[in-house]
Structure 1
């Protein structure tokens, strides 16, 4: 049986790094934080994330959406671990959107499955936006 690596950072440190990349628009950092293939799951279906370039393109498009709503930062809070076993973390959290002054201007609820790869790096394997249930419901983005 293959050795399961220990994570080199806590889950809080991982999501702090993730939200730093989101805030800075670091598309390469965001691409590196995903496992490939990864999966995006909503009530409307599942989307395979098959390459780092697909991740970069998604976040580039998303950044314009957020900036158009005067959202210039994000931080993770209320991180809840549902299950953690060696190599896998499953849980959910709130992504708090912030305006240029740093004030909260909305929030999004997301669930994740995060894996630890052989070098101890954590990577997102499954992401689920919990505010995107049906097309007629509004997301947490204001």
Structure 2
């Protein structure tokens, strides 16, 4: 696992989408800062425990796999602002079938923070498409 502040935001999202694609639930839980915040049109959810993240992504894996989505990659990463250990921006998560063909995109915004060890962690996640 890359855990230095020299990891680019592109490398961070490559790592993140790699975990999503492989279904590495423990690594996904580890990439979040706790507490974290999930903000959606339905409201805000404080994520205070890695098990909440594991449960969410386990359900998500089943949902995406049942629809033929086998992978995801980050595209069009936009940095809105970065400084003092905080990155704020948005990107597209492109869903891929088993052949690597695009089968849809999801727009998301994130706030990423550096932890005490210099590792990037997701502090706030926001889906930008209607839910």
The reply to whether residue 77 of structure 1 matches residue 75 of structure 2 is: yes
Query: For residues 120 and 97 of structure 2, what CA distance do their matches in structure 1 show?
Result: 28
**Superposed displacement of residue 90, structure 1:** 0.0
User: TM-score by structure 1 length?
Assistant: 0.88
The reply to whether residue 125 of structure 1 matches residue 111 of structure 2 is: no
Partner of 1:114: 112
**Superposed displacement of residue 44, structure 1:** 1.8
The reply to whether residue 65 of structure 1 matches residue 63 of structure 2 is: yes
Partner of 1:7: 5
**Superposed displacement of residue 34, structure 1:** 0.1
RMSD value over aligned CA atoms? 1.0
User: TM-score by structure 2 length?
Assistant: 0.95
Alignment length (residue pairs): 128
Cα deviation digits, residues 40-86 of structure 1 (max 9, x gap): 00122000111111100100000000001000000001000000002
Larger Rg: 1
Q: 4+ residue stretches of structure 1 with deviation over 4 A?
A: none
Cα deviation digits, residues 20-43 of structure 1 (max 9, x gap): 000000001000000000000012
Query: For residues 49 and 130 of structure 1, what CA distance do their matches in structure 2 show?
Result: 19
**Structure 1: tracts of 5 or more residues without a match:** 1-5, 136-142
Partner of 2:21: 23
